[in-house]
Amino acid sequence: MQHPISITALASISPLGKTPIDIWNNYLNDSHCFTEKDGVLVATFPKALKADIEDLRQSNSKYRALDNSVLYAIFSARNAIKSAGWKATDNFGINIGSSRGATALFETYHEEFLKNKKAETLSSPTTTLGNIASWVAHDLQTQGPEISHSITCSTALHAMLNGIAWINSGMCDKFLVGGSEAPLTAFTIAQMQALKIYAKSDVSLSAVKTLYPNQALNLNKTENSMILGEGAAMACLESGTTENALAQIIGIGYATEILEHNASLSTNAICFQRSMRMALGDINPEDIDVIVTHTPGTIKGDQAEINAITTIFCNKIPALTTNKWKIGHSLGASGLLNIEMAVMMLQHQEFIAIPYLKAKTPKHIKYVLVNAVGFGGNAVSILLSK
């Protein structure tokens, strides 16, 4: 990287809540956020947060036709720029992505089309992927560039890469980046089940409260255990080192590998090896304290990432953790939620452990590496420092 980039604010909404203190306290609790919905396990928002989103929907007649993924992005973006102290006149850039985009709205419109052979008036403008960033820009009344994209599960970290590139080019000195996902729909879940990667749903709700259905990072699991969760997260990026920085981005890496299968990584996740090596740059791998892994809870996906980590870090593996055992996989938003988790560990100097795994606890946390990868073998690694 040309120079460090400061993360001056973070804001998210997830099954953990919306405020930093609530999110941190929920991380320290060893209970997960899964519940049953239509016979399957999902991770969804607390009731109070759902009410906040509904209030946002009803606050403006234009917002009533928007998909939840867009509303989640607007809600998080408002909180992020408020925390950073940004104003619309700052003309900051916006890059917000989503793996699935307007999931529920698209499915509803398509179902109506199949029944009536006629599309609803707003079906196109409200389900176009680009409407996430453009609606956030409209809500914040900004004048800077606005970008939306989908690179599956690494979408949010690719947004971060784009923001850094714009800042380093000198075309912007501030960028709002993030991801938003509202994937808890019947068809989206059915797609994951068709891939045979979704957690089995034959677990009673009473058992769910005491077990850990998503066994992310557990290499001894005997079946795939991925569970979807909804969420959105935004980060405010600024050029250089700022006094109010929550953390510094000091390394970035990215890579794409030749696919063995449409939905798989290679056995040793070559893309992760390349992205992590690039992000480390001149830093000794032995200096990395923690890695927040992508590990969605699938047997092959989790093992491939660990194989890549073992290759890069050899005999001194950093402490490993993930949030997917707790809040599920939020697809395009998951990478920024990983960043949030990493920043919290840096700020509080406390490692967030996984209750069903034994892991060494670092005495001091200075460097945290964050990973994300999506269908297509598109890996991103971001190196953060305190």
Q: 38-55 pLDDT, tens per residue?
A: 889 999 999 999 999 999
| Angle ∠(355,303,187) on CA atoms, nearest 5 | 85
Share of the chain above pLDDT 70, in %: 95
Task: Say what the pLDDT of residue 262 is.
Answer: 57
**What is 5-239's CATH number, 3.60.70.12, 3.40.47.10, 3.10.110.10, 3.30.1490.120?**
3.40.47.10
DSSP letters for 42-106: EE---HHHHHHHHHHHHTSGGGGGS-HHHHHHHHHHHHHHHHHT--GGG--EEEEE-SSSSHHHH
Contacts (Cβ under 8 Å, ≥6 apart) of 273: 255, 308, 311, 312
Q: What is the rounded distance in angstroms from the CA atom of residue 278 to the CA atom of residue 383?
A: 10
Q: What is the rounded distance in angstroms from the CA atom of residue 106 to the CA atom of residue 136?
A: 19
Instruction: Check pLDDT > 80 for residue 138.
Output: yes
Task: Say what the pLDDT of residue 205 is.
Answer: 55
Task: Say what the pLDDT of residue 38 is.
Answer: 86
Q: 156-193 pLDDT, tens per residue?
A: 999 999 999 999 999 998 999 999 999 999 999 999 99
CB 10 within 8 A of CB 246: yes
Confidence of residue 370 (pLDDT cuts 50, 70, 90): very high
Q: What is the rounded distance in angstroms from the CA atom of residue 295 to the CA atom of residue 370?
A: 11
Q: What is the rounded distance in angstroms from the CA atom of residue 93 to the CA atom of residue 69?
A: 19
Region label for 168, one of left (φ > 0), alpha (ψ between -120 and 50) or beta (otherwise)? alpha
Residues of the chain with CATH 3.40.47.10: 5-239, 251-385
Q: What is the rounded distance in angstroms from the CA atom of residue 277 to the CA atom of residue 262?
A: 25
Token pair in block for residue 310: 């073992």
Please give the average per-residue pLDDT across 325-351, as a whole number: 98
Task: Say what the pLDDT of residue 3 is.
Answer: 80
β-sheet bridge partners, residue 324? none
Task: Say what the pLDDT of residue 202 is.
Answer: 65
Distance of CA 2 to the CA centre of its chain: 25
Task: Say what the pLDDT of residue 89 is.
Answer: 85
Task: Say what the pLDDT of residue 263 is.
Answer: 56
Instruction: Check pLDDT > 80 for residue 104.
Output: yes
Distance of CA 189 to the CA centre of its chain: 18
Q: What is the rounded distance in angstroms from the CA atom of residue 368 to the CA atom of residue 384?
A: 5
Enter the pTM of the model: 0.95
Confidence of residue 331 (pLDDT cuts 50, 70, 90): very high
251-385 fold: Peroxisomal Thiolase; Chain A, domain 1 (3.40.47)
Q: What is the rounded distance in angstroms from the CA atom of residue 287 to the CA atom of residue 280?
A: 10
Task: Say what the pLDDT of residue 5 is.
Answer: 96
- Which one is predicted more confidently, 359 or 340? 340
Instruction: Check pLDDT > 60 for residue 310.
Output: yes
CB 228 within 8 A of CB 188: yes
Please give the average per-residue pLDDT across 259-284, as a whole number: 86
Contacts (Cβ under 8 Å, ≥6 apart) of 26: 16, 17, 33, 326
CB 148 within 8 A of CB 131: yes
Q: 191-250 pLDDT, tens per residue?
A: 999 999 999 876 555 566 668 999 999 999 999 999 999 999 999 999 998 988 999 999
Distance of CA 379 to the CA centre of its chain: 13
β-sheet bridge partners, residue 372? 380
H or E element that contains 228:
none
CB 201 within 8 A of CB 42: no
